[in-house]
Amino acid sequence: ATTLDTAWAVRWMRDTAQVVSENRALLIDLDRAIGDADHGENLDRGFGAVLSKLDDGTPETPAAVLKLVAMTLMSTVGGAAGPLYGTAFLRAATSLGDATAVEPSGVAGMIAAARDGIVARGKAEVGDKTMVDAWTPAAEAAQTAALAGATAPEVLAAAANAAHAGAVATEPLIARKGRASYLGERSAGHQDPGAVSTALILQAAAEAAGG
Ligand code: ADP
Ligand code: MG
Ligand code: MG
């Protein structure tokens, strides 16, 4: 199986920038339906800035890559998602320590740390129709896969699939956090933009690992 080393972390972020750019209009449309139509633009700007930072030089460890991403997203994305994703990547980086390769249990720990950071910052619970509805099943699926002896790329694939299912499952929900909550019952009938972008980010992680 592919080793989840620094090169993987860089591929993950380059793939994320590409997939976010390709899905910019989709994320804008989802956020237009239940928010203020800027989620695709915010993330595209943020990951575009990540790309230019990575072009300046490669950090030494996977954690250093994720920390660079955290700092860049916090200073460029804005809105609700900037601080939330910034915290997620910062906590993920911290969970990896100075490891040069991420083991299956490390993948599960990284995703759980990201999720916990988002919850600490935004106080959303599962079912509130936010990105937590994608990160939580992703963290659970990753832990289950790691405990069952899956390889690190397989753990990422399990997380990505669970995040995707979690994002799809936000469609009928009524938002209780963030801008979409201002709409009350009218927020039902649309997938949450942050849950959808979370699924894209984790899918990119799995694909960068060859999964
Ligand atoms: P803004 O709402 O400020 O315009 P974005 O459009 O970039 O920010 O991001 C909106 C996304 O942020 C939502 O789709 C949701 O997933 C997420 N979000 C908003 N508030 C919270 C929160 N309190 N906890 C977790 N996620 C949240
Ligand atoms: Mg928005
Ligand atoms: Mg906004």
Instruction: Kindly report, residue by residue over 167-191, the tens digit of the pLDDT.
Output: 999 999 999 999 999 999 999 999 9
> CB count, 10 Å around CB of 39?
28
pLDDT in tens, 83-92: 999 999 999 9
Q: Which of 20, 36, 39 to mutate to test the pocket of ligand 1 (most atoms within 8 A of CB)?
A: 39
- Does a structural domain hold residue 152? yes
Q: Do residues 203 and 160 lie in contact, with contact meaning Cβ atoms separated by under 8 Å? A: yes
Q: Which ligand 1 atom lies nearest to the CA of residue 36?
A: 4
- Does a structural domain hold residue 86? yes
- Does a structural domain hold residue 1? no
- Does a structural domain hold residue 101? yes
CATH number at residue 46: 1.25.40.340
- Does a structural domain hold residue 165? yes
State which residues have CB under 5 angstroms from ligand 2, the bound ion: 31, 35-36, 38-39
Q: Is the CB of 178 under 6 A from ligand 1?
A: yes
- Does a structural domain hold residue 104? yes
Distance 82 CA to ligand 3 centre (A): 10
Ligand closest to CA 82: 1
pTM score, two decimals? 0.98
Distance 76 CA to ligand 3 centre (A): 13
Q: Which ligand 1 atom lies nearest to the CA of residue 192?
A: 14
Distance 194 CA to ligand 1 centre (A): 6
> CB count, 10 Å around CB of 10?
17
pLDDT in tens, 191-204: 999 999 999 999 99
What percent of the chain is modeled with pLDDT above 90? 98
- Does a structural domain hold residue 33? yes
Q: Is the CB of 46 under 6 A from ligand 1?
A: no
Residue type at position 7: A
pLDDT in tens, 17-62: 999 999 999 999 999 999 999 999 999 999 999 999 999 999 999 9
Q: Is the CB of 86 under 6 A from ligand 1?
A: no
Q: Is the CB of 84 under 6 A from ligand 1?
A: yes
**Structural domain count, the chain:** 1
Q: Is the CB of 179 under 6 A from ligand 1?
A: yes
- Does a structural domain hold residue 119? yes
**What domain range includes position 100?**
6-208
